[in-house]
Amino acid sequence: MSETNLLLIRGATILAGHDAAGTVEGDILIRGREIAAVGTVPPLPPGAALREIDGRGRLAAPGLVNAHMHSQSATMAGFGDALSHPAFMWLTQAHTARRTPEETRLAVLLAAIQAITTGTTALIDHFPGQRFATADVDAALAAWEESGLRVALGLRFFDGLFADIQANGAGLPADVAALATGAGLLAPHPLAELKEQMPDLVARWHKRGGRLQVFPAPSNPDRCSDEALLFCAELAERHDLGIHTHLLETRAQARIARERYGTSTLVHLEALGILSERWSCAHAIWLEDDDIALMAERRAIAVHNPESNARIGAGRMRTPEMQAAGIPIALGTDGPGANDNLVMQEAMRATALAHRADLPDRRDWVTARDALRMATAGGAGALRLGGRLGRIAPGQLADLTLYRLDAPWWRPLNDAAAQLVFAETGAAVTTVIVDGRVVLDEGVITTFDAPGVLGEIEAMTASLRRRNADLFAAADAIARALP
């Protein structure tokens, strides 16, 4: 790598990772995509560094990894409250279906703005919410490439019914029932079509530019045939991919799995011979004791989404027990439809606080450093980049964030890890570096026209509301009909 590809941060306060004893004052030298040195970097020859950043008064910390979100719902903050899970899901369809490729691009870049400006450098995007066409995925991946972020796009598929949100027998008008039965908007994706689309998308996009990945991603295993799940696992093995999915988010999903398989979803995946460390499983709320033991044995990753779980009343993941069992845990925000923002600092705080009142022995609590591990090294594992991402250390991929230490919640600097989890909101982020490239420079996104994107969102959503008037009416009828 040419010396002209060097980036140097001078004099920062460095929090190397979740397990760092404290902070150190020093320099960070980035060569190309990787961190080359941390500590005291001798003066470089004149003109050697592409750029030198003054890190004085800044905390340098690993970039955060949002291991479960949905870019398609980026426009949905505050869209509905106190809805049942089925009603929430159908209203989400009204907000996200029938988009043009340009509207998909705008939604992705809106999500990217939230991520970048709050210090998230990598994400798993479970996309889209409906049966996809190749053009939909191409538009999303092109937008993520434009953003400069590190992203695994999970090809969200289902070749079966959304049985957990069906409105059959709810006394709905015939036209609404037609949309909401699986014969309409959420018609299953034919497996033969998936077998053509998914390998093509992997071949064209996976590892493009070193930042993009493509994962097979069942919407939920219970919405897929066994043949589709086996194909998904075979594709992942052939190309060394991760597999991303929703898992046992609601009590209804746990019941349906028992009725369908005679056992839990996890035990069924094990019976198929496909449960492994490749799987990252969002929500993972309704696990039984045997499921926890099995998930730990197979090193499948649980992706905790504490705020969305609470927002829609789905339940609480058994985080302390799962952590004690040795299950690898990552963190996600879920989509803005279920959580209203993509702020990973809030997800860390919620994770650390959720169970404390239930656990009299403080040794069982999820600590700030546990939460920070989940949001960095844990997320790296979900991206299949464990050991390469999540720390500020030589040889690591150069994904990091600078926070201004003159913000009142950083004064005085007592414990950087605890303040990052409990005090920071993303508001003190000044600079974000992904793959050795500055994507946020003193608060300004450098990779695309963020003000231009924000200026187009209102017109986009107004157009979509007119186009999807029938879906909004159907969602309203379902919300009124379902408990």
Q: Classify strands 429-434 and 437-441 as parallel, antiparallel or unpaired.
A: antiparallel
Whether the ω angle into residue 412 lies within 30 degrees of 0, i.e. cis, is yes
Helices (H), 383-468: 416-422, 450-467
Is residue 41 classed as helix, strand or coil in its secondary structure? coil
Return the axis-axis angle of helices 134-147 and 101-117, rounded to nearest 10°. 30
- What number is the average pLDDT over the span 317-344? 96
Distances (CA, A) of 193 to 53, 116, 137, 224: 49, 35, 14, 14
Residue 106, CA atoms < 13 Å, CB-side half-sphere? 19
- What number is the average pLDDT over the span 336-346? 95
SS3 content of the chain, % helix, strand, coil (to 5): 45, 20, 35
Instruction: Classify each residue of 331-345 as buried b or exposed e, where b means 16 or more C-beta atoms within 10 Å of its C-beta.
Output: bbbbbbbbbbbbbbb
The answer to whether 214 and 205 are in contact (CB under 8 A) is yes
pLDDT score for 260: 93
DSSP per-residue string spanning 46-78: TT-EEEEEE-TTEEEEEPEEEEEE-GGGTT-TT
For residue 243, the cross-strand partners are 279
Whether the ω angle into residue 128 lies within 30 degrees of 0, i.e. cis, is yes
Q: What is the pLDDT of residues 163-219, one digit of tens each?
A: 666 655 556 677 666 666 655 667 889 999 999 999 999 999 999 999 999 999 999
Q: How many whole angstroms separate alpha carbon 125 and alpha carbon 65?
A: 11
Cα dihedral 442, 447, 451, 457 in deg (nearest 10): -140
Task: List the domain boundaries for the chain.
Answer: 3-62+392-445, 74-382
pLDDT score for 413: 98
Cα 382 versus chain centre, distance: 10
The answer to whether 25 and 389 are in contact (CB under 8 A) is no
Backbone angles phi, psi at 472, to 5 degrees: -65, -40
For residue 153, the cross-strand partners are 125, 214
Domain with residues 74-382, CATH architecture: Alpha-Beta Barrel (3.20)
Q: What is the pLDDT of residues 438-462, one digit of tens each?
A: 999 999 999 999 999 999 999 999 9
Distances (CA, A) of 452 to 144, 169, 367, 392, 443: 16, 46, 40, 33, 16
* Token representation of residue 459: 């017109």
Q: Is the dihedral of CA 9, 14, 18, 19 positive or negative?
A: positive
* Token representation of residue 5: 């590809």
The share of the chain scoring above pLDDT 90, in percent, equals 82
Distances (CA, A) of 142 to 90, 109, 153, 201, 276: 27, 10, 11, 12, 30
pLDDT score for 482: 65
pLDDT score for 3: 46
pLDDT score for 1: 35
Topology of domain 3-62+392-445 in CATH is Urease, subunit C; domain 1 (2.30.40)
pTM: 0.95
